[in-house]
Amino acid sequence: MADDTVSASSNMDMEDRVSHLEQRLQLQEDEIQLLKAALADALRRLGYCEEHNQGMQPGGSHAGRRPLATTGSAAPTKVRQLLQALPSRPLSNGYVQQKRLLSSPSSPKKEVLQSIKRKSMSTEQLTLVRREMAAESRSRTTSSSSSSGGKSKSKECTLNAEDGYVRMFLRGRPVTMHIPDQQRESYSIDQKVALPDHKLKLQWVYGYRGRDCRSNLYLLPTGEIVYFNASVVVLYNTEEQQQRHYLGHNDDVKCLSVHPDMVTIATGQVAGNSKDGKLLAPHVRVWDSVSLNTLHVLGMGVFDRAVTCVAFSKSNGGTFLCAVDDANDHILSVWNWQKEKQLADVKCSNDSVLAAVFHPMDTNLIVTCGKSHINFWTMEGNTLTKRQGLFEKHEKPKYVLCVAFAENGDAITGDSSGNIYIWAKGGNRISQVVSGAHEGGIFSVCVLKDGTMVSGGGKDRKVVLWDHDYRKQSEMEVGDSFGPVRALAEGKPGELFIGTTKNAIIRAAFPDTLTPIVQGHTDELWGLDIHPSMEQFVTCSQDKQVHLWDTNSHQPLWSKTIEDPGRSAGFHPSGAVLAVGTMTGRWLVLDTDTRDLVSMHTDGNEIISNVKYSPDGNFLAVASHDNFVYIYAVTENGRKYSRVGKCTGHSSFVTHLDWSKDSKYLVTNSGDYEILFWEASNGKHVTNMDTVRNLEWSTSTCTLAFNTFGIWPDGADGTDINAVCRSHDGSLLASADDFGKVHLFSFPCSQPRAPSLEYGGHSSHVTNVAFLHDNSHLISTGGKDTSILQWVVA
């Protein structure tokens, strides 16, 4: 398994290109679908006008005004033929379509990711492509969209005061939002909105990036362990249960090194794109772990793709720093980091480079390793000279996975075949072999202060202690739920910290003490909901894990493996049960105390994007990517379910939904920017806006609504914002966007392009946000970065 994981990266370039083309093709198909819908509306209106004119002629009958969605028999034959071949759906909100056309396979770009078996790019490259496409789409939208006629204009947004609605445009499509009667007289589209009275401060980062990074776990003299997740470097004091955070990066952090002074830290990041399409260059940041101040920034405009290896020199007081760029040539560069001056660089390897470290006794010697190689580099002036490691009679591994140094200066490597090789100091030949040290790959080797060594295995998940002569002394096995060993760090005497490929960190001691201190998800994360009365929240992910978290201990109260990838979650108002929606159309109900399965149902075979109980707990709405919302009556305190309605009317997948406070109505958004209303008792579509205009809503999670539409920035393409949530006191609104940002607005947010406070930390699209029941904290979830961030509302 370890070999497969590493070898996949060697084919990354071809997969990148294929995935890039697939993403662009999907985006183009989506744009064509939207153009068809716009053309359909134009043809429909033309047909109606011709019918109307014929009805007004002598001998004709005028039936009066009717919805444009209806095509009469008097419409011209050519128009009828075109209409039959195009989406039968008006662009304004409120009418039910004649047939369903758009479903999730033709949804906006990020739904390309719904097939979890499909080959994809690495996280940072996928994020880069997503952002490039979003920037291009916004550019097209900005240049082509124009405001429609109205009585008051504000660029692309218009107000019709007479009929009481605001109309905005997303990708050229009009979205109509009706103003409550009590605000119609006072509402002005040009009114200035103040920034929120509160701010967010990052308090806790859940998870660790072990799935695809190495050598990224260290213990500092302060008693803190340092590691990273998403774009945040975490300094976690395990005794005091406190975290501090370095927030200098603006995209995925991929590597970390601690200076010999044990205070200065270097971290490297990937390339990316900002929301305005500007390049976020990969670089190395050198910073102070006490003050968290950035000291130096290296390599802006020098690195190409991502900095995947970084290390300080040891023997000269840490004056030099080496780094490896994950570009095609895997350039190894050496820097005087205090002067921010590059001293030398060289093409390191055609294949992946997994580690680069300075020799602890020779400032001018650097060791790199990776696919089928280990190289010893000597630096003379601005030149790096390579000597290849010679395996001679010994088995040459497919990958040399890690390197460390013994007290006497010998290099120690672990490889994909499970062997440990010792390379004599100053040479490039093997002097000693420990064959079959592990079953499968050895991802980490750590030499302890007393000169003994520990090694961590992939396939066998074992941590082995070796004496000075490389004889096995003891071993322990990490549980399968935590995954193979990825990184090892020495803690206090007799203590180890183990980072795993399932994004966990474990405090361990021989012979068999293993205590998880950091846990997280391992695949794309969307599902989030808050306990109605306790400091708890639930998450579910495509890794098929459901976690119930405690916000005080920052640990899962329980975890449960389900059969299908998870997508959405929702608590019953009593807190006794919670519903989980999956990627396959199945949804299930779990007991919150025991995690036992209470009920399981299937509606369609597509993504269940939302599961939400009514405020009185008597109904459950299940929103699907098959364009329907299924309504269930709930009895026996959330333990019995019977379907009472099916909301039929959306022409694209359902994205968000909210319940009215009286539990009688639902409002939903869809992938083609519709806003539709429904009766809860039977799923009947409500077309009379006077019925729902003045309703009070229990939650505000719909991104398209009168009280939330101000979250949309200029040129938004309709997929830039993934989630929104109102605080329970009705004063704040938080949004999650595609560019790794959480935004905080004042509520209501009913003015175009409302001002907000912006917070970074995630490195992928932020998929969800939710306030705790007492509004004291905000929880946000990352998609591809799989992280959960807990923010204090101050």
Q: Which of 93-97, 193-197, 432-436, 454-458 has the lowest mean pLDDT?
A: 93-97
Average pLDDT value over all residues in the chain: 87
Examine the pLDDT at 155 and tell me if it is beyond 60.
no
Residue where the block lists tokens 């100053």 = 426
Domain definitions of the chain by residue range: 3-147, 207-518
User: CA–CA separation, 286 vs 249, rounded Å?
Assistant: 11
Band of residue 276 on the pLDDT scale cut at 50, 70, 90: confident
Other CB atoms within a 10 A radius of the CB of residue 4 amount to: 9
Give kind and range of the element (H or E) at residue 24.
Answer: helix 12-56
Band of residue 159 on the pLDDT scale cut at 50, 70, 90: very high
Q: Which CATH superfamily is domain 207-518 in?
A: YVTN repeat-like/Quinoprotein amine dehydrogenase (2.130.10.10)
Examine the pLDDT at 274 and tell me if it is beyond 70.
yes
pLDDT for res 734: 99
Average pLDDT of the segment spanning 41-63: 52
Band of residue 39 on the pLDDT scale cut at 50, 70, 90: confident
Examine the pLDDT at 91 and tell me if it is beyond 80.
no
Q: Is the dihedral of CA 289, 785, 533, 598 positive or negative?
A: negative
pLDDT for res 747: 98
Q: How many CA atoms lie within 13 A of 495 on its CB side?
A: 12
Examine the pLDDT at 131 and tell me if it is beyond 90.
no
**In 3D, which of 663, 666, 662 has the Cα closest to residue 675?**
666
Angle at 306 between CA 302 and CA 311, to 5 degrees: 85
| 365 within 8 A of 311, measured Cβ to Cβ | no
Task: List the structure tokens of 387.
Answer: 């000597």
Average pLDDT of the segment spanning 739-761: 97
Using CA atoms, how far residue 605 sits from 69, 131, 238, 626, in Å, is: 29, 29, 44, 8
Q: Which of 100-109, 580-589, 646-655 has the lowest mean pLDDT?
A: 100-109
Band of residue 13 on the pLDDT scale cut at 50, 70, 90: low
Residue where the block lists tokens 């690495």 = 122
Task: List the structure tokens of 140.
Answer: 């097209």
Band of residue 62 on the pLDDT scale cut at 50, 70, 90: very low
Examine the pLDDT at 322 and tell me if it is beyond 50.
yes
Reduce the DSSP state of residue 729 to 3 states and report it: coil
Band of residue 105 on the pLDDT scale cut at 50, 70, 90: very low
pLDDT for res 571: 99
Query: Whats the size of the chain, residue-wise?
Result: 794
pLDDT for res 277: 74
pLDDT for res 348: 94
pLDDT for res 73: 37
Band of residue 114 on the pLDDT scale cut at 50, 70, 90: very low
Average pLDDT of the segment spanning 547-572: 98
pLDDT for res 6: 46
Q: Which of 112-116, 434-438, 610-614, 788-792 has the lowest mean pLDDT?
A: 112-116
Q: Which of 138-147, 205-214, 647-656 has the lowest mean pLDDT?
A: 138-147
pLDDT for res 561: 98
Angle at 293 between CA 289 and CA 294, to 5 degrees: 105
pLDDT for res 17: 62
Examine the pLDDT at 16 and tell me if it is beyond 90.
no
* Residues above pLDDT 70, as percent of the chain: 81
Strands 566-571 and 320-325: unpaired
Examine the pLDDT at 724 and tell me if it is beyond 50.
yes
pLDDT tens, position by position, 183-196? 999 999 999 999 99
729 CB-contact burial (10 Å; exposed 0-12 / middle 13-18 / buried 19+): exposed
Radius of gyration of the chain (CA): 29
pLDDT for res 48: 54
Most confident of 26-40, 47-61, 272-286: 272-286
Examine the pLDDT at 567 and tell me if it is beyond 50.
yes
Band of residue 156 on the pLDDT scale cut at 50, 70, 90: confident
Q: Which residues pair with 654 in a beta bridge?
A: 670
Band of residue 106 on the pLDDT scale cut at 50, 70, 90: very low
Average pLDDT of the segment spanning 478-488: 97
